A and B are shown apart, each in its own frame.
Chain A
Amino acid sequence: MAVRARARARGKPPGQETGIPAVGAAAIQPAQQRQQPYARGRHRDPQNVPQQQIEKKPEGLQLSVGFQSLCIGDRGGHRKDYHDLGVNTRQAMEHVQESKTGFSGNVIKLCANFFRLTSRPQWALYQYHVGYSPEMEARRLRTALLLHHDKLIGKSYAFDGSVLFLPRRLANKVTEVFSKTRNGENVKITITLTNELPPTSPTCLHFYNIIFRRLLKMLNFQQIGRHYYNPEDPINIPNHRMMIWPGFATSILQYEESIMLCVDVSHKVLRNETVLEYMYDLCRQVEERRIKEICAKELLGVIVLTKYNNRTYRIDDIDWDANPQCTFLKADGSEISYIDYYKKQYNLDIHDLNQPVLITQRKRRRENFTSGPIALIPELCFLTGLTEKMRSDFYTMRDLAVHTRLPPEQRQHEIGKLIDSIQRDDNVQDQLQSWGLGFDSQLLSFNGRVAQRERIFQSGNVFDYNPQFADWSRETRGVPLSCAKPLDNWLLIYTRRNYGSANSLLQSLFKVTPSMGIRMNKATMLEVDDRVEAYLRALRQSITPDTNIVFCILSSSQKVKYDAIKKYLCTDCPIPSQCVLARTLSKPQTLLAVATKIALQMNCKMGGELWTVEIPLKHVMIVGIDCYHDTSSGKRSIAGFVASLNQTMSRWFSRCVLQDHGQELVDGLKVCFQTALRDWYKYNKYLPSRIIVYRDGVGDGQLSALVSYEVPQILDCLKSIGQDYSPRLAVIVVKKRLNTRFFVQRAGEFKNPPPGTIVDVEITRPEWYDFYIVSQAVRNGCVSPTHYNVIYDTSKLKPDHMQRLTYKLCHLYYNWQGVIRVPAPCQYAHKLAFLVGQSIHKEPNLLLSDKLFYL
């Protein structure tokens, strides 16, 4: 989180920095604007590179730059460490030095989408330094001079102008050769061995990944973003103007026992629509005065492709004062309008001369370029991916899921097809052989364990649930809740049109609540006009100190109303609230089921408890943290924080931290921990002896920041609680978005592994104390395991106990009568952060902090 916030700070919308001329500037803009053409990088002349920059690059930097030249047409620059290489957290945890594996549960044979990298015996990568005398500056020239000696260098090499990698050792440690320049000058080239890199070194791993990307290109895959896609066989979804490209997400890493390739099917959603067409569409839908606001909301943060190059850009801002007739400065200092530039450079015509200009921040800095914003023309950009609006559209997602949610058998088949084509393609095999590398053709197989099934306790009753569905809604039907809160005094607000729905809901609630043990009086019924102000007036007038909960029936999913109600009832007037769409209540056949769910949810929001599982661990406080990133409004991030208040983990304290970009999360965390511990003390009359933090919302490549900033801050904060208070702490990073997939083979077919499957061998990382759990069950598609990485642990819990505690916590999310993907506190924290980020935009009233009001 901290890292992301800092990265954002760089990505300041340029509109704020550059003085853009007044409205209606169809005339030429001052050319000193920092907007630069995208084609610059392509045509850059190596002779223009200042000398010192090449010479004074530190060694480490050269190494990573070294791979730029290696990847054909790959986007250069310093790439992020997506795999968190080099963060070694296990070495600091004594109790997992020997073993980090658990033991309980039944052994199960599993396969995973991993393939071992094979190499010739004693394979190593040899790193050479190449020096020129007299000194040559231009990289192109240095490369050309070296390649005069192709017999010496061989077919497979990687060279960036000073560092040379070869798959084999030259005869001598220092080799001297001579070349002649165009000026007839004799140049001595000295090739000195500087390093012999073992296959497991980070440089080698990076190198394998680049080689693999090369192979994918040879197989005619196209790179979009980080992954590779097959353009030949797209799936068209004309209803939504979408096209799906099937492809693969791949990475090669050092895993527990060996270096492996992880391959997962990935789908890229491309949209058959330019940004301009999309803007027209928005124009038709909304009032004109709001068009800028709506465009910003829908488009900022969206990734676009252009008509003229193979790059993706993120829209960071829209410059409404600019248009295609504005001019910018080219690399050579001349001034040109966008229209003329695209006509001249790419023979592209821009038709709409009034369209605004999109602004994107250059993400990666190339070594020699000052980074500045880039301007893009909406008409020449195509949308990719899904907007928030589309994601929330059930029909869009349903149509997509048909194509993207592959069942295990099919997913395995697609992965196999890629591995097959790698083995079959001659060019690919040539390339691999020249580097002395290869891949296993079989999926990796190993043993996992299936944790013992948990029993569900609900007010004196014990239930087993069907492990296949990981759901106990049927088993616990009609059973009193662990702790039921009465509905003595509550409001039911509806519009005239929904009077019928309100009544039938009330009837249904009267039917379902008695068996749950919920005492219920008739609600105070309030009919309001379908306007925001009407709802708010009704709330202000009718809420009394005795009101248990407010129930609102909304006629359509208009976010404004929902947001206003939630904001008022979470901040100004802290009372639990339940909003339901009238449509949800419209089908008589499902009404009882809906009413049951609503009753459960309302009970939780008022501070009730539903069920528990057995948690043997005493005096432990569980904390969940997740983040929500608001891309549209001011780029604020919200961290949701929840902490357990009791032994059974049925009550949770919550707070959230709102941070503007550039601010560190940790400052807010301190306050959260302090209040959480104070509340814990109020409930238990002692402080917890162990604190276990589940940290969700950590992006790829942010682990090191977490380890070096956030963990020490948590420790500091605990120290500040009291001099003689030093609880044991564990911090676990929870990751849901993985490319890892597990399969079990049953009757020759690949199936999803059962809920409760734990994996802590083979595909874990040797430098981490990590494990995978498949806790949930899915109806269709492939189940996605969750990765748990214990980055700090003084809890003294055995790995087996840590795994089982984690699995137990996945049973405790009260908004779902079943097992979920992550521990309940993470999901609660997510819900809280989402509510605050989407609707409230303010810290909720602390009077609500011991209730699950955010469900």
Chain B
Amino acid sequence: MDKNREEGRITQIMKFTPSLSKQRYQFIKDLVWKYKPKKVADLGCADCTLLWMLKFCRCIEVLAGLDICASVMKDKMHRLSPLPVDYLQPDERSLTVTLHHGSVANKDPCMLGFDLVTCIELIEHLEESELRKFPEVVFGFMAPSIVVISTPNSEFNCLLPGVTSFRHPDHKFEWDREQFQSWALKAASRYDYSVEFTGVGHPPAGMEKVGFCTQIGVFVRKHPPTSDSAQFEKPAEAVYKTVFKAVYPSLKDEKYLQHAVVGEVVFTAQFMKGSLLDRSVLEHKCSDHPAACKSGFQPSEDLEKLVVEKGTEPYVDGSTFYVPLRTIFSFPKVNRLCGTFEKLCKLIAGKVPLSSDGSAVMLNTEGE
């Protein structure tokens, strides 16, 4: 074989594209995409990178992280906070992100009821005593629908230059495929899970026999847990310490829904007033230069073309402009937010100036 090509291969071995950690995270993202879990916990969340990636998955409503080291979590935990934009346009879904400081060898009720629990490159950091308790805590106590466990495949180490014993000084062990699989199968059968093995980090051509660089076990619970048993085992006290908690603004929260609806109603009314009073300007614009727009850029949602039902047109009385609520309700955005007309009326009561019979939004025409 050509020497240059061999060298090229070796550098390929050393470096995965995308990086191995990204491949592991992508694996979890794909899994989330497939199973759409609502509550996800990451055990050994370290600098919260996976949690940060998962917060963009719109099916997830509860995210939790657990790590034995508080400082590494705290280092970048603020990226799990809601963004300014999340407050500006609250999402339909609710999302709560919590970080706990504690050990996977201990049971804490805050870890109950999850759909997916991930343990990425975690178990190899556990002391023997902790590893012994681990299956009972994760499969027995937390008992989520799905558990994902990844760990280095020691058979691959011969391809990693410079790795003599373990890949990381903190690793307590590194298993080959057989060791991992026998441990996993034992745990699965004991706690009534099925398990499938896969991995990320493909070996280079010709070396397929060593398997993936990272081996992964995906455990799926066979039967829904009887709620009684979980209740019984529930320890009375919490042992984890909460280091971070962020509740994302959501339209499920009445306060944010009201803000959004009031904002949309007032804006829509203003818009109608503006377009009605400035009709001449608009018509002038439309007649001018019919086919001048070369960029193909145009408003997609044309508010002006909305058909307004008969008897619900906005009207002017003295210096007051009235926009019937029915009309406002027919605007898609308002409609989507409220669902029903009654809900709309309830949400804006007392927040938007209404006509005496409460059927129309009042705006002042003076000065503007």
Q: Contact residues of A with B, CB < 8 Å?
A: 23-24, 43, 45, 72-73, 180-184, 217, 220, 222, 224, 229, 231, 234, 236, 238-239, 241, 243, 245, 270-272, 279-280, 283-289, 291-292, 305-310, 320, 332, 345-348, 351-352, 354-356, 382, 395
Contact = CB atoms under 8 A, between A and B. Distances in A.
Greatest chain A CB density within 10 A among B87, B163, B292 is at B87
11 contacts: A73-B76, A73-B78, A182-B167, A234-B87, A238-B264, A245-B84, A283-B297, A288-B292, A305-B83, A351-B300, A382-B88
Contact of A310 (B84, B259, B294): B84
A185 B17 CA distance: 27
A183 B83 contact: no
B5 interface: no
Contacts of A355: 297
Interface string B223-265: 0000000000000000000000000000000000001001111
A747 to B, nearest CB: 36
Interface string B291-310: 01111111111001000000
Contact of B165 (A23, A184, A285): A184
A739 B251 CA distance: 36
Contacts of B163: 182-183
B295 A292 contact: yes
A287 B281 CA distance: 10
A222 B81 contact: yes
B56 A332 contact: no
B363 to A, nearest CB: 9
Nearest to A242: B263
B85 interface: yes
B84 A231 contact: yes
A291 B297 contact: yes
A495 B318 CA distance: 28
A347 B58 contact: yes
Given A73-B76, A239-B270, 7 more contacts: A23-B295, A238-B264, A271-B88, A345-B56, A347-B57, A355-B297, A382-B84
A382 B85 contact: yes
A73 B81 CA distance: 11
B105 interface: no
Nearest to B53: A345
B166 interface: yes
Interface string B357-368: 000000000011
A224 B297 contact: no
A231 B82 contact: yes
A75 B343 CA distance: 43
Interface stretch (B110-118, B134-142, B282-290, B324-332): B282-290
A184 B85 contact: no
B267 A241 contact: yes
Contacts of B57: 347
Nearest to A380: B85
Contacts of B281: 285
A224 B84 contact: yes
Nearest to B163: A183
A345 B74 CA distance: 23
B88 A332 contact: no
B300 A352 contact: yes
Given A182-B166, A287-B285, A270 B84 contact: yes
Given A182-B167, A279-B297, A347-B56, A239 B266 contact: yes
A24 B297 CA distance: 11
Contact of B299 (A224, A241, A283, A310): A283
Contact of A272 (B74, B263, B293): B263
Nearest to B265: A238
B338 to A, nearest CB: 15
B190 interface: no
A285 B259 CA distance: 27
B85 A283 contact: no
A662 B165 CA distance: 59
A306 B82 CA distance: 12
A217 B78 contact: yes
Contacts of B336: none
Interface string B1-45: 000000000000000011100100000000000000000000000
Contacts of A352: 300
B79 A310 contact: yes
B198 interface: no
A356 B294 CA distance: 12
B88 A272 contact: yes
B299 A222 contact: no
A356 B297 contact: yes
B297 A320 contact: yes
A288 B299 CA distance: 11
A287 B288 contact: yes
Contacts of B356: none
B360 to A, nearest CB: 17
Contact of A354 (B56, B88, B298): B298
A241 B292 CA distance: 30
Nearest to B259: A236
B340 interface: no
B281 to A, nearest CB: 8
B62 to A, nearest CB: 17
B196 interface: no
Contacts of B289: 287-289
Contact of A284 (B56, B78, B265, B304): B304
B164 A184 contact: yes
B277 to A, nearest CB: 13
A286 B266 CA distance: 23
A480 B270 CA distance: 48
B245 to A, nearest CB: 10
B169 interface: yes
B85 A307 contact: yes
A332 B164 CA distance: 29
Contacts of B87: 231, 234, 243
Contacts of B17: 332
Given A238-B262, A243-B87, A382-B88, A72 B285 contact: no
Contacts of A222: 81, 84
Contacts of A180: 169
Contacts of A348: 56
Nearest to B291: A288
Contacts of A241: 263, 267
Given A236-B263, A307-B85, A347-B58, A73 B79 contact: yes
Nearest to B261: A238
A310 B264 CA distance: 25
Nearest to A241: B267
Greatest chain A CB density within 10 A among B75, B79, B299 is at B299
B89 interface: yes
A291 B295 contact: yes
Nearest to A155: B71
B76 A72 contact: yes
B295 A354 contact: yes
Nearest to B281: A285
Contacts of B56: 308, 345-348
B350 interface: no
Contacts of B168: 182
Contacts of A284: 282, 299, 304
Nearest to A284: B299
Contacts of A279: 297
Interface string B80-120: 01111101110000000000000000000000000000000
B311 interface: no
Nearest to A384: B84
B299 A280 contact: yes
B339 interface: no
A292 B296 CA distance: 12
Nearest to B89: A272
Contacts of A220: 81
A243 B88 contact: yes
Contact of A184 (B83, B169, B299): B169
B83 A310 contact: yes
A364 B265 CA distance: 41
Contacts of A309: 83
